[in-house]
Amino acid sequence: MSGIKVILDKCVGCGLCLKVCPVDAIKLVDKKAVIDLDKCTLCGACPDSCKFEAIIIEREKVIVKDDLSQYKGVWVFAEQRDGVIASVVFELLNKARQLAQGLGTYVGAVLLGDKVSEKAQELIYRGADKVFLIDSPGLSHYTSENYTKAISGLVGKYKPEIILAGATTTGRSLVSRIAVGIYAGLTADCTGLDIDPERKILIQTRPAFGGNIMAQIISPNFRPQMATVRHKVMPESENNPQAKGEIIKETFDEATRDNRIKFLDFIKETITTVNLAEADIIVSGGRGLQEQKNFSLIEELAETLGAAVGSSRACVDAGWIPYSHQVGQTGRTVCPKIYIACGISGQIQHLVGMQSSKLIIAINKDPDAPIFKVANYCIVGDLFKVVPLLIKKFREIHAK
């Protein structure tokens, strides 16, 4: 088992390790470093900083699972509900094509459900070379236990090199169970995927330490390499009706169905406003609005433009607006044609959720606000003066 320890005879209490620890897991007691094992993430920063080699990390010996050369293919879990494939699947198929080219392999899609056979061809048109289809009444409704059994069986038979899924409620609950069952590595909530050109392994990028850094994670010793990916951080694949592919039909053994689970009903959320994830234009407000009543200014601009209303985390935490409007690392990831940020400073946690927007307009009175580094158009000024002028101008344009 991996662990970390301090060699007390070597420790001089210099405190260098305290300064580099990103999770504040080290303190000095009687001039000796003491590590809080509940906080420590074994990141390796403290041993690297120690000039006296007083801190060491002991890692368990890695046992390679089996012959990794047997694993081929980049698979995408084709999430669907009521026969409608989730748009994040098309984003993943686009990225899977890029990854497959780097590995010299094929793109696969895994489609499960009842009466969904006709959707297999749609996945081929969107970039899949092979569609692994299980069409069964036992899979008519998503239950993590049954879907896990079905996909784990496919993995054991066809041995994919990489499996990708959307970081949706379904994707997160499913692939974590698959990873545990097949003893594979899994990186959640990725915002970037690439292939290491030398080692030919998947580089998975995701925010870490509260969004303060972007971590690159690899799974070099086990297969498949698994990741969930945020919605709206990658472009969708194009629809090509001329594309050719193979549909591989498999069966679901009803005898293996988990009868402890029974699907009762699915209650859809009633959305009365513009869907934030699908909106072409989003107007977001931040701490610069100063108080809750001023969010009416953001709502008025959004209404004028036919846009959705977004928010930074600070406003949600303050209770100014519901969580469903939050854009950022712990909120929604969006990719609109136009993103207007009003009074948002632009910390990395927020930028992660909106930086892939096609056009970014930022309004902030601080000329050094981080949001200006990613914005296409920067307006340095008081939002309480700028936004009303924008509303007036857009209304004049609409009236013509």
pLDDT of residue 267: 63
- Cα(319)–Cα(323) distance, rounded to whole angstroms? 9
Q: What are phi and psi of 269, to 5 degrees?
A: -70, 135
Average pLDDT of the residues of the chain: 86
Picking from 198, 93, 188, 180, the residue whose alpha carbon sits closest to that of residue 144 is: 180
Please enumerate, as own/partner, the contacts of 266-274 that have beta carbons within 8 Å and a separation of 24 or more: 266/81, 266/141, 273/308, 273/309, 274/302, 274/306, 274/307, 274/308, 274/309
Q: At residue 74, what is the residue type?
A: V
Question: Cβ(49)–Cβ(15) under 8 Å?
Answer: no
Q: Domain locations in the chain?
A: 3-58, 68-256, 281-399
Mean pLDDT confidence for 299-310: 90
CB atoms within 10 A of CB 281: 18
The lowest-confidence range among 42-51, 161-170, 250-259 is 250-259
Beta bridge partners of 206: 215
CATH class, 3-58 region: alpha beta
- pLDDT for residue 211 is more than 70: no
Q: With respect to CATH, is domain 281-399 assigned 3.40.50.1220?
A: yes
Q: Per this entry, what is the length of the chain?
A: 400
- pLDDT for residue 210 is more than 80: no
Digit-coded pLDDT (tens) for 262-287: 777 766 654 444 567 778 899 999 99
- Cα(152)–Cα(157) distance, rounded to whole angstroms? 9
- Helix orientation angle between 169-182 and 144-158, rounded to the nearest 10 degrees: 50
CA distances from 227 to 89, 189, 216 (A): 13, 8, 12
- Cα(330)–Cα(207) distance, rounded to whole angstroms? 10
Mean pLDDT confidence for 6-18: 90
- pLDDT for residue 104 is more than 80: yes
Digit-coded pLDDT (tens) for 31-67: 899 999 888 888 888 988 898 899 998 876 555 556 7
Question: Cβ(21)–Cβ(46) under 8 Å?
Answer: yes
The lowest-confidence range among 2-6, 148-152, 239-243, 251-255 is 251-255
Superfamily the domain 68-256 falls into: HUPs (3.40.50.620)
Mean pLDDT confidence for 216-222: 86
Question: What are the residue ranges of helices labelled H in 291-347?
Answer: 295-305, 313-317
Picking from 67, 66, 128, the residue whose alpha carbon sits closest to that of residue 96 is: 128
Mean pLDDT confidence for 27-31: 90
- pLDDT for residue 257 is more than 80: no
Whether 281-399 and 68-256 are alike in CATH topology: the answer is yes
Q: Residue 212's pLDDT band (boundaries 50, 70, 90)? A: low
- pLDDT for residue 217 is more than 70: yes
pLDDT of residue 363: 93
Mean pLDDT confidence for 74-85: 90
- Cα(390)–Cα(72) distance, rounded to whole angstroms? 53
Digit-coded pLDDT (tens) for 368-398: 999 998 999 999 999 999 999 999 988 888 7
